Structure 1
Amino acid sequence: MIFYGFEDERTVEEQYVSPEAVICVVDDDDEVRESIGTFFRSAGVKVAKFRNAEDLLAWPNLPTMRCLITDLTMPGMDGLELHRELRRLGSEVPVILMTAYPSAEARERAETQGVSSFVAKPTDPETLLEKVEALLSS
């Protein structure tokens, strides 16, 4: 199985990500996913990037995920559905939900469902890193 988002589309096991704790980024926008991944790696953070929620859920190292950054609106399973599925599977990892359409309704739905942080796109990767650090230190 291929886990998309890596420079040469090799599997996660063949890339940088070891089976240690990682930050996962799920976004169907290649540019957003790559920029976040590149910034986090340059900061020394292990990152696994996925083009969609289904690829993340199929990832054999899913238990190593320490935090999830995901887009709200994606083809197939959206970010809130992914959050619900992770909770159903017993995962309590913090979830940062990003959206280019930050309506009050979307924010309220995210907060009601227990999403850790709601972020409007575009956002700067440094801000995301600060949010991840804060969530992991709490």
Structure 2
Amino acid sequence: MTDGFPDAETINAFNNAIADEFRANGGKVGGQFADADLLLLTTTGAKSGQQRVSPLAYFNVDGKLIIIGSFAGAPNNPAWVHNLRAKPAAHVEVGTEAYDVTARELPPAERDELFAKVAAAAPGFADYQSKTSRVIPLFELQRN
């Protein structure tokens, strides 16, 4: 752990376990994420070029599929944010459905408006924002 946050190896092991459970149970997981709307986001590593899978909470806001780069309020963005900024083409699994998407990072005004709606539905994200000086990015995943 660094600065109270787990290292990349710990995060990858955690994410892989959730992804395995998600895929084995038709998009459902137990534990702390039992009631959350989760998707699996597969990005291409900006440096490595390798496929990276990240289980993420998602929200449908105003007809848009939105993911949040909160990283639990860590001082840095999660790796998938860097990957999407470098290459916005990605793949998602939602429930038992899988499809390709193009990620669009929301510009400041749109981000602020949608973040308020996300925080109203899931106050934990407002808590994460209050823990960090960075602006937590939001991305819309547009189906290809």
TM-score, length basis structure 1: 0.32
Task: Give the structure with the larger strand fraction.
Answer: 2
Structure with max Cα Rg: 2
Structure 1 or 2: more helix by fraction: 1
Higher normalized contact order (CA 8 Å, seq sep 6+, divided by chain length): 2
